[in-house]
A and B are shown apart, each in its own frame.
Chain A
């Protein structure tokens, strides 16, 4: 582990020059600032970026009923601080517009356009202000406004299809793919412009699985939100549920029993493990090493069975709850699991050796689909993809949650940013996960698995972060007055990372697209919500 982060934001905010006349308050894991005027946002963005801050998320809230304004949130991360900086900007309801910062911070490109689509707030000065979250054929509605009823029935699809930007040149043609793909994967549309085999430009069309999830959170009794969080991205169900619980627990000030803190580590690492193993095999199969994938899918099945034998659910569902875990992890079951994981470890290492000793496989992965570290930094790429491109970020280490603060582990980082390194990040992380599970199991304290969480204080809000297997998951939860939530913002790492795929594919040949795409393996549902 690197040196513990401290409080870089304090020095940044100390002089008052950055946000004159602002209010500031501390919350668990978060320093929240209410700057005086939204007009300061672009200047602040340039200054914060120059100081090494990363824009992790940007989102909005409709508070027109209470204070005749919308709120715009910028969530920032800094390598020298263990808290997130949350800037809360006020946008008067009678001038529904905010200065966009996507030119200074390309990482927020889609997020600012989502706000424009969902809240009807103009992202003024955005370099590409077209719709992103609502497809072109949607009527002019802003579904996350409070006066828009959740179950509004909109007219069926009609009208023009999306117009892609033209790519012009001799011999250039387009390959449109999706939304229904050839494999068993989620829907999205890829528009490739190619000249011969190399890809010149890829345009993505996402949000095919947009379900209105953030608004559906507002309909449920807040304690049931954990089940919706499990279904934001099914392969990260536990991580999302955990982030949701942590946000609610922060609002309620709940003290989580130690058994649950360590148990949460074990479950989150099991989720990481089964996904990483599957991805390692899938990368191998996409360059023709099918037998390695047979082993990997066999290994994944052994982990899903382990999940079920020990915790009752193959995908670790129904385990997280606000206040801890719904059931205790029994000592005998945990010990049995450790034994099985030792067999798994040996087996896994043999499969890794098969892949690492296959020159024809490595040759296809090395220098394929390169995402340069500078681009990764500019685009705010997180998680596995970020770490393969020099972005030394990991919520478990940088913003410790559950019991991670008392466990030690390494965060693998590579600079090359190619498919091979994205695979090797996963291999190394799988090893670290096994170590973390073992360490957490060794320390797993006796005692209750959950604590009662009182009703949430209306209007209180909290931010929570979890390192899911793809990367940083953020939840912003605001309590309402009727046992329901006023707002639940969900940020899956896939939302940050899709632009990385666009960069990484350029100049590569189209037959390498599947393996490049797989090496990111982003969640469509997590993005589209």
Chain B
């Protein structure tokens, strides 16, 4: 007993400050890729280096459309190696969003008669469409915040993940992140939960279990899809055994990019879902 106390005293307080506002990753951290669209001369070669198809190029007439999807990105950095100096790896994690489309950046380039890329036609834009696909509007988020903002119970559901996301979700509970200080805790049953934190591409064998878990969660309920696989299928994509992304099976409120998302990104996504972060204002300078 004395040894236990002595060890605790010697260890002291290890909990870190606000993980989001005070986020300061080490210099070596490989975060979200940053694209200098104006200087990017070889998007097709860069796209070929991307293992998940997060970068895609389609030519039509005199226009080349380049799409970068942070929801598919596994943050491997291959694009930075292939991007001819126009792509670099930043030290920021890709931000969780309320609208899946906000993980996509689209740029349009001109093509000359030989099909060679000429110049950027317009500044790159977030989202593929102008229409917002946010499931919960600002008013609804306000109501949710009142109800769930101070004390939130989460049921984690692995719907087919590789368990990498689970490693980082576990990290949220360690004494450094200490999730419970935010009034957030993980519960054993969906019946006790306000939020489902779902990982993995949804496999054919987990689809029913995920639906049942969602139905067992009392309303109002929130769903956070974590990781590239949960958002889009990630490196796995489509297969005979995969039903698709989480949003193909149940409605999703927040998308947390990453492979896996680091604990700060997970916390960010959870707080965003309950309206404790304003989507734009509280955000650190975006990598996007």
A binds B: yes
Q: Which residues of A contact B (CB under 8 A)?
A: 135, 138, 141, 143, 148-154, 156-157, 179-180, 182-187, 207-213, 215-216, 219-220, 224, 227-228, 231-235, 237, 278, 291, 294-295, 297-298, 300-301, 304-305, 308-315, 317-318, 326, 333, 350-351, 353-354, 357, 523-525
Chain A residues whose CB sits within 8 angstroms of the CB of B26 once the complex forms: 305, 308-309
Q: Considering the chains assembled together, what is the distance between the CA atoms of A326 and B76 in angstroms?
A: 10
- B11 in the interface, Cβ–Cβ < 8 Å? yes
- B44 in the interface, Cβ–Cβ < 8 Å? no
Size of the B side of the interface (Cβ < 8 Å), in residues, is: 66
Chain A residues whose CB sits within 8 angstroms of the CB of B171 once the complex forms: 297, 300-301, 304
Chain B residues whose CB sits within 8 angstroms of the CB of A212 once the complex forms: 236, 239-242
Chain B residues whose CB sits within 8 angstroms of the CB of A309 once the complex forms: 26, 28
- B213 in the interface, Cβ–Cβ < 8 Å? yes
Q: Considering the chains assembled together, what is the distance between the CA atoms of A394 and B188 in angstroms?
A: 37
One of B11, B156, B234, B238 near A298 (C-beta < 8 A): B11
Chain A residues whose CB sits within 8 angstroms of the CB of B107 once the complex forms: none
Contact B158 A185 (CB under 8 A): yes
> Nearest-CB distance from B74 to chain A (Å)?
6
Contact A151 B176 (CB under 8 A): no
- B275 in the interface, Cβ–Cβ < 8 Å? no
- B286 in the interface, Cβ–Cβ < 8 Å? no
One of A151, A180, A354 near B4 (C-beta < 8 A): A354
Chain A residues whose CB sits within 8 angstroms of the CB of B165 once the complex forms: 234
The closest CB in chain B to the CB of A236 belongs to B163
Q: Considering the chains assembled together, what is the distance between the CA atoms of A135 and B207 in angstroms?
A: 13
Chain B residues whose CB sits within 8 angstroms of the CB of A179 once the complex forms: 205-206, 209
Contact B205 A135 (CB under 8 A): yes
Contact B240 A234 (CB under 8 A): no
Given A308-B29, A525-B163, answer yes or no on A301-B176 (Cβ-Cβ < 8 Å).
yes
Contact A150 B205 (CB under 8 A): no
Contact B235 A228 (CB under 8 A): yes
Chain A residues whose CB sits within 8 angstroms of the CB of B161 once the complex forms: 186, 209, 234, 525
The closest CB in chain B to the CB of A138 belongs to B204
> Nearest-CB distance from A463 to chain B (Å)?
23
Chain B residues whose CB sits within 8 angstroms of the CB of A208 once the complex forms: 160, 203, 205-206, 209
Question: Which residues B168-220 have CB closer than 8 A to chain A?
Answer: 168-171, 173-177, 186, 188-190, 200-201, 203-209, 213
Contact A184 B156 (CB under 8 A): yes
Contact B7 A227 (CB under 8 A): no
Q: Considering the chains assembled together, what is the distance between the CA atoms of A380 and B15 in angstroms?
A: 43
Q: Considering the chains assembled together, what is the distance between the CA atoms of A235 and B163 in angstroms?
A: 7
One of B25, B155, B163, B241 near A234 (C-beta < 8 A): B163
Top 3 A-B pairs ranked by shortest CB distance? A234-B164, A212-B239, A182-B188
The closest CB in chain B to the CB of A210 belongs to B241
Q: Most A CB atoms within 10 A — which of B29, B75, B164?
A: B164
Contact A318 B170 (CB under 8 A): no
Q: Considering the chains assembled together, what is the distance between the CA atoms of A81 and B26 in angstroms?
A: 45
Chain B residues whose CB sits within 8 angstroms of the CB of A224 once the complex forms: 51
The closest CB in chain A to the CB of B197 belongs to A184
Q: Considering the chains assembled together, what is the distance between the CA atoms of A180 and B206 in angstroms?
A: 9
- B277 in the interface, Cβ–Cβ < 8 Å? no
Chain A residues whose CB sits within 8 angstroms of the CB of B175 once the complex forms: 294, 297-298, 301
> Nearest-CB distance from B44 to chain A (Å)?
15
Given A143-B240, A151-B238, A301-B174, answer yes or no on A523-B28 (Cβ-Cβ < 8 Å).
no
One of A152, A227, A235 near B235 (C-beta < 8 A): A227
Chain B residues whose CB sits within 8 angstroms of the CB of A314 once the complex forms: 168, 262
Given A182-B189, A318-B77, answer yes or no on A156-B207 (Cβ-Cβ < 8 Å).
yes
- B250 in the interface, Cβ–Cβ < 8 Å? no
Chain A residues whose CB sits within 8 angstroms of the CB of B163 once the complex forms: 186, 233-235, 523-525
Having A227-B74, A227-B76, A308-B29, one finds 6 other A-B pairs with CB under 8 Å, namely A150-B240, A154-B240, A231-B259, A298-B175, A309-B26, A312-B30
